[in-house]
Amino acid sequence: MISGDATLREALVAIDANRHGIVLTVDAGGAVIGLATDGDIRRKLLAGGSLEDPIAGCANARFVWADEGTSRELLLKQLDHRIRVIPLLDQGRRLVGIV
C-alpha cells in the first residue's frame, strides 16, 4: 500500500516488492481508495507520463474488492483471467487481506 500522493516510481517499487502486480493507494486515514496494476502504470508511461507523476492519475477508484466476510465460494467465482487479485476490506475500507 502506498499513499495516493505517491509517484509512479514509488508505485513500481512497491509492485516489484510485493510480486502481486498491483499496488493499493490509501488516504491519510489508511482507507483504500484505489488500485493500480503494473499495466496501468505502463500505459500511463507510454502515453507520455513521467515516473514522477502521481499514482492517482492512473489508479482505479472503482476496483473490485470484497468485504472481509465474503464467502470463499463467491471470491473464487470473481477470480478470472481479468481479475487476478481481490483486496479484502473492513468496514472502514482498510486492507485486511488479499485473495
Tell me the sheet residues that pair with 88.
66, 97
Q: Judge whether 13 and 57 are in contact, CB under 8 Å.
A: no
pLDDT of residue 82: 80
| Secondary structure (3-state) at 66 | strand
pLDDT in tens, 65-82: 999 899 988 998 888 778
Average pLDDT along the chain, 99 residues, taken 10 residues at a time: 95 93 95 96 96 95 93 88 89 94
Q: Judge whether 28 and 60 are in contact, CB under 8 Å.
A: no
Cell reading at 64: 473490485
